Chains A and B, each alone.
Chain A
Amino acid sequence: QQQVKQSPQSLIVQKGGISIINCAYENTAFDYFPWYQQFPGKGPALLIAIRPDVSEKKEGRFTISFNKSAKQFSLHIMDSQPGDSATYFCASRGSNYKLTFGKGTLLTVNP
């Protein structure tokens, strides 16, 4: 079973702090690792993604760190804002282009 394990299940951060969400995958054939953001009442939407040939990708306050040898990747949200409060999902793409999602992390940023 190809799995993506995500942690923590929930996270509370103060405004201005750093939010860190971690994911681990099993299949070394995975070749694309996106993060999705979901607000209440909405479907998840792509936030940022990385390929395994780089160790880090940054877009604004959002950074993905990728450790190929450990089969782990993480999302860092710098200067976290209350508007970042949402559920975040990591995912990995397999050989048949199927995306496998983690269970999600509920992030709450307190003002």
Chain B
Amino acid sequence: GAGVSQSPSNKVTEKGKDVELRCDPISGHTALYWYRQSLGQGLEFLIYFQGNSAPDKSGLPSDRFSAERTGGSVSTLTIQRTQQEDSAVYLCASSTNMGDTEAFFGQGTRLTVV
């Protein structure tokens, strides 16, 4: 597809379980972001990948959160031992590293921890 694809679109999980959220960025985009958006709130930066550089993990809220990007393309955000406060929409975005950098967002994954 032409846009950023995220899966699943919705995820309900039990407290304490691990979850994996997937992001397929636009082909050729070297930059990839993960954000968290709680209900009615703004964008909370989680992690930023840029090419082969070390990722900027400064936004990850705890060591239960991790992300990887394989082959410079697909990214997976993993949340271990989920807590109710992890419930939010997780947004992925990708962009190029040249020109006027427009970030294209996916539709997000709505995570509900029960």
Contact = CB atoms under 8 A, between A and B. Distances in A.
Interface residues of A, number: 26
Contact of B41 (A36, A46, A104): A104
A103 B38 CA distance: 11
Interface string A7-37: 0000000000000000000000000101010
A22 to B, nearest CB: 15
Interface residues of B, number: 26
Interface string B33-67: 10100001111010010100100100000000000
Interface of B: 4, 31, 33, 35, 40-43, 45, 48, 50, 53, 56, 91, 93, 95, 97-98, 100-103, 105-108
Interface of A: 6, 32, 34, 36, 41-46, 49, 51, 87, 89, 91, 93, 96-104, 106
